[in-house]
Amino acid sequence: MAQQVRGVIARAKGEPVRIETITVPDPGPGEAVVKVQACGVCHTDLHYREGGINDDFPFLLGHEAAGVVESVGEGVTEVAPGDFVILNWRAVCGQCRACKRGRPQYCFATHNAKQKMTLADGTELAPALGIGAFAEKTLVAAGQCTKVDPAASPAAAGLLGCGVMAGLGAAINTADVAAGSSVAVIGCGGVGVSAIQGARLKGAAEIVAVDPVASRREAALRFGATQAVGPDELPDINQRLTAGEGFDYVFEVVGKSATARKAYEATRRGGTLCVVGAGAMDDQVQFNMFELFFDEKRILPSLYGGGDVLQSYERAIALWRAGRVDLEGMITHRVQLAEINEALEQMRSGVALRTCIEI
Ligand SMILES: NC(=O)c1ccc[n+]([C@@H]2O[C@H](COP(=O)([O-])OP(=O)(O)OC[C@H]3O[C@@H](n4cnc5c(N)ncnc54)[C@H](O)[C@@H]3O)[C@@H](O)[C@H]2O)c1
Ligand SMILES: [Zn+2]
Ligand SMILES: [Zn+2]
């Protein structure tokens, strides 16, 4: 039977979000209902609320989550009720050229649950990134549930569902940071700090954190940055550390054309600009045709950690168990579902590195 649970709904652009009763249908073929235990607040939830992703309001927010499978639909074999899972954005098809090549992250036919969760009046909801986990329960495609080691706490495992996976993976998989190299990370929220953790694991010599917010710079230093500066100081530190030649790797983790441009300029010739920030469709970044070819800077976008999600979760959990990646330390605030507006504000102001909604 369909169930009524509480969830966080963004009804209109820029408006405060509200807790509302939502209807979660029983899982159909290939679907699962997951009892959410923890969901981190990622900047992408704010992008949704601000209408920066698309206009498919009302959104059911939340997408950085872990929980327990409650029920599964017909034909589901990969997970069973009781399994502890991380929710990933999209289930892959397993059949297309990308999947067959062993590159499921480039799957041409990813999918989410087919049935819709709804508001009490029947209005269909658009779950953030096909997940919608600021809710007591959510309906997803079974392939979005990745069974992981239940030793990981739900709050820590949840972070792997988005921000940590994105940042860690950008450094490890996409940029493949070389030992002894120089790195700058522009934007030090949960995702940027995860990129810093990844760069440290890969043996980067210098890791410069760049952020206008002092508490974020302090956090970056705790997680492996060797220096932390405000955005205006980037040219200076570039001069001091690299004689102005530029960093070997620069990570853009804000999602704005202006910072992407600054990141490009701070990258050395032949170096790597790794684009992790998710920006708006109408925010254009400019490169001229001379510099693009002449400086041979590699521009590497990184979506969801740039690797196979299943392998990446396992690897991140192994690193966390060995004490080489700090997940708990990234959670600076823990709140209940009802405090979601405060949680979004904590993210916007930078007071929190990551706020976890415990459900
Ligand atoms: N690539 C992916 O798969 C992926 C996954 C998750 C999130 N994201 C995106 O990554 C970005 C960061 O997410 P987050 O959750 O860490 O957000 P966040 O809001 O916690 O962090 C962003 C940081 O950027 C800083 N910042 C703002 N302007 C800056 C400037 N001019 N120079 C330097 N720093 C500046 C802010 O002070 C803040 O600390 C967002 O755009 C988000 O949508 C991408
Ligand atoms: Zn996210
Ligand atoms: Zn596929």
Decide: residue 236, CB within 10 A, 0-12 exposed, 13-18 middle, 19+ buried. Answer: exposed
| pLDDT of the residue at 57 | 98
What is the phi/psi pair of residue 215, to 5°?
A: -65, -30
Sheet holding 298-301, edge to edge: 227-229, 206-210, 182-186, 247-252, 267-275, 298-301
| pLDDT of the residue at 28 | 98
Task: Identify residue 282 by its one-letter amino acid code.
Answer: D
pLDDT at 259 over 90: yes
Nearest one of 90, 40, 30, 99 to 65, comparing CA atoms: 40
Percentage of residues of the chain with pLDDT beyond 70? 100
| pLDDT of the residue at 1 | 87
DSSP per-residue string spanning 161-181: TTHHHHHHHIIIIIS-PPTT-
CA atoms of 66 and 145, how far apart (whole Å): 9
For the segment 192-206, the average pLDDT, to the nearest whole number, is: 98
Ligand 1 nearest atom to the CA of residue 44, by list position: 43
Ligand 1 nearest atom to the CA of residue 47, by list position: 43
For the segment 344-348, the average pLDDT, to the nearest whole number, is: 93
**CB atoms inside a 10 Å sphere around CB 13:** 12
| pLDDT of the residue at 357 | 97
Please report the domains of the chain, with CATH numbers, ordered by start residue: 3-161+326-358 (3.90.180.10), 166-303 (3.40.50.720)
Closest ligand to Cα 133? 2
For the segment 20-42, the average pLDDT, to the nearest whole number, is: 98
* Any atom of ligand 1 within 6 Å of the Cβ of 190: yes
Q: Please, which pLDDT band fits residue 310 given cuts at 50, 70 and 90?
A: confident
| pLDDT of the residue at 84 | 97
pLDDT at 174 over 90: yes
Segments of the chain assigned E as strands: 3-10, 18-24, 31-40, 59-60, 64-72, 84-87, 118-119, 126-127, 137-141, 145-147, 182-186, 206-210, 227-229, 247-252, 267-275, 298-301, 331-335, 354-358
Report whether 210 contacts 195 (CB < 8 A).
no
pLDDT at 311 over 90: no
Ligand 1 nearest atom to the CA of residue 301, by list position: 1
* Any atom of ligand 1 within 6 Å of the Cβ of 157: no
Decide: residue 122, CB within 10 A, 0-12 exposed, 13-18 middle, 19+ buried. Answer: exposed
Percentage of residues of the chain with pLDDT beyond 90? 93
* Any atom of ligand 1 within 6 Å of the Cβ of 40: no
What's the predicted TM-score (pTM) here? 0.94
Q: What is the mean pLDDT of the chain?
A: 96
* Any atom of ligand 1 within 6 Å of the Cβ of 6: no
Ligand 1 nearest atom to the CA of residue 276, by list position: 1
Report whether 79 contacts 85 (CB < 8 A).
yes
For the segment 88-100, the average pLDDT, to the nearest whole number, is: 94
CA atoms of 213 and 135, how far apart (whole Å): 30
Instruction: Using a CB cutoff of 5 Å, list residues around ligand 3, an ion.
Output: 92-93, 96, 99, 107
* Separation of CA 268 and ligand 2 centre (Å): 29
CA atoms of 80 and 95, how far apart (whole Å): 23
